[in-house]
Chain A
Amino acid sequence: MITRTGVYPNFIALYTLTRKEMSRFLRIWTQTLLPPAITMSLYFLIFGKFIGSQINKIDGFAYIQYIVPGLVMMSTMTSAYANTASSFFLTKFNKSIEELLVSPMPNILILIGFMMGGILRGIMVGFIVLIISYLFTHVPIAHPLIVILMAVLSAMVFSLGGLINAIYAKRFDDISFIPTFVLTPLTYLGGVFYSIDQLPPVWRTVSMLNPVLNMVDTFRFGILGVSDLNPWYGFGLVSLFFIVLFTWARILLDRGTGVKV
């Protein structure tokens, strides 16, 4: 019996899921793209212009310039997370996940398809916020390749985080638990608004384990050319998080956790 499986059909399947995920967040752009643009404009205005003008330069940059990479990265991460968390949970909730489960599409491609949706939304939001930042200040793009790589890698990590959260979630409230109690503290303590050189030595060491700090710091190195930590350490740690989360998500999908009994 001839069956339709293999590389080309799998490519079509992955393309279909990615396109579906992208059209979903573009269709509801007032909920997905507009809010971070408005919120970050307010951050630039209040923290950057009004309060930042009272703060000394950090690493030779004005405060508003210093916070641009952190805010771009913060928007990228939260958008990537929110995309997979809400999309996968809703797919589970309305049972349309069964459309994927009955198809010959391998679990790894289902995982990558949802992750691609998160990456695309995260990068798009990050790019919008970066463009907005030019309305308030100017930042050099010191190492463009590092900027792109770290933005994509961070979006991948947070997309996977959102996916794992949605796999375990039983109610809609469950997908806001991790962002509120884990991600927000990690983000605000992740050097978005300050340099870790300003912290006492103990907290500086503890902060180095925070993946968000490493993402922000390496991204800042890409944009401003200055960093508190070694960017290669940042890439290494974030890559490690990616491998762990990817493997975890893959095992969950293979087991059918949260979607099959």
Chain B
Amino acid sequence: MKALSVKNLKKIYPNGLAALKGIDLDVEQGDFFALLGQNGAGKSTTISIICSLINKTSGSVSVFGYDTDRDLAHAKSLIGIVPQEINFNSFEKISQILINQAGYYGIPKHIAATRMEKYLNEMGLWEMRDQPAIRLSGGMKRRLMIARSLMNEPKLLILDEPTAGVDIELRHHLWRFLKKLNESGTTIILTTHYLEEAEHLCKHVAIIDHGEIIEHANMKELINRLHVQTMILDIARPLTIEPKLDEFVWRLQDASSIEVEIHRQQSLNDLFNKLSAQKIEISSMRNKTNRLEELFLHLITENKNQAPRS
């Protein structure tokens, strides 16, 4: 079953800006889906239309088979949203924000209270439940919005850049939490600027550029399409002579690290064998940039070079 089906979705803002030019998007139930794109590409507009925060110009959206034009209440009851910007009343108590949100979804208070305890504990905010939200730090506010989005135990959770401005430890905690949530059956759609995050978490990906979907694929297949990866090799002992790596495109970054381009048909074993033969010991290896990031930039540039835009 499709958790989300978007057909020919268009949005033209009152100022004439065509933010979405007829996109199609399908997300299967149980998927962990990344919606990627540059600033202003149309990600947040898409999400806002799905969640009824923005009116669409034309097209259709259905959530688990419920069309948002005909069965809006049913569709909404299955969605949880974590928006990019803070959108709660900062003067309200944390507990009240969550209980009220559950109430708007028609959830009785005793059930809401149990869920509130569960998700505030999960987000490390239980001790602060009686504090007004204004006392929270930026990262805590983001966690509060995640807890709030779970109060209706959504079947489809949409997160619009949930880890923006969040420290590394918390980001990893959120990743673990979202993975667990997805494994328990919740379909998750994520937009992020951290492509490492998308690669780490998501099974499928769509890339949106200037209001058009330019790629919609399985994450692994997409990564495999990458023709060239640039690797940085750290050398255990500084080089005294230049290595001989004829089949590879390479350059020395400094005396203790080499940057090597590895094409898809080339093997890392060949590279290591050559280095070993020259008694060059590698202490560590890493991608110069995230693989998805390389691919993303490649696709965006390719799209930019195509037909002129209206």
Interface residues of A (CB under 8 A from B): 1, 3-6, 8-13, 15-17, 20, 90-91, 94-96, 98-106, 255-256, 260-261
Contacts and interface: CB of A to CB of B under 8 A. Distances in A.
B108 interface: yes
A256 B55 contact: yes
Most buried by B among A90, A101, A255: A101
B242 to A, nearest CB: 59
A1 B78 contact: yes
Contact of A261 (B13, B65, B78, B148): B13
B175 interface: no
B103 interface: yes
Size bracket of the B interface: 35 or more
Interface stretch (B79-87, B195-203, B219-227): B79-87
Contact of A95 (B85, B108, B152): B85
Contacts of A106: 73
A149 B204 CA distance: 59
B225 to A, nearest CB: 34
A13 B106 contact: yes
Interface string B54-72: 1100000000111000001
A1 B104 contact: no
B295 interface: no
A97 to B, nearest CB: 8
Given A4-B152, A5-B106, A13-B106, A104 B87 contact: no
Given A16-B99, A102-B81, 9 more contacts: A1-B66, A1-B78, A9-B107, A16-B104, A101-B53, A102-B52, A104-B77, A106-B73, A261-B14
B65 A94 contact: no
A4 B101 contact: no
Nearest to B65: A1
Interface of B: 1, 13-14, 51-55, 64-66, 72-74, 76-79, 81, 83, 85-90, 96-97, 99-101, 103-108, 148, 152, 155
12 contacts: A1-B78, A1-B155, A4-B77, A4-B106, A16-B99, A20-B100, A98-B53, A100-B104, A103-B104, A103-B152, A260-B54, A261-B13
B107 A4 contact: yes
A104 B103 contact: no
Contacts of A91: 89
A94 B89 contact: yes
Contacts of B90: 94
Contact of A13 (B51, B52, B83, B105): B105
B105 A104 contact: yes
B144 to A, nearest CB: 12
B73 A261 contact: no
Contacts of B104: 13, 16-17, 99-100, 103-105
Contact of A16 (B65, B86, B88, B103): B103
Contacts, number: 103
B64 A94 contact: no
A98 B87 contact: yes
A144 B103 CA distance: 35
> Lowest 7 CB-CB distances: which A-B pairs, in order?
A9-B106, A16-B103, A103-B104, A95-B87, A104-B73, A104-B76, A104-B77
B54 A261 contact: yes
Contact of A99 (B64, B87, B106, B107): B87
Nearest to A99: B101
Contacts of B155: 1
A101 B76 CA distance: 9
A8 B106 contact: yes
Given A1-B155, A101-B52, A261-B14, A12 B81 contact: no
B109 to A, nearest CB: 8
A103 B80 CA distance: 9
A99 B77 contact: no
B103 A5 contact: no
Nearest to A28: B91
A260 B73 CA distance: 17
A240 to B, nearest CB: 31
A11 B104 CA distance: 9
Given A105-B104, A260-B53, A260-B55, A94 B87 contact: yes
Contacts of A13: 103-106
A15 B109 CA distance: 11
Contacts of B85: 95
Contacts of B87: 94-96, 98-99
Nearest to B102: A16
A260 to B, nearest CB: 5
B193 to A, nearest CB: 21
Contacts of B79: 102
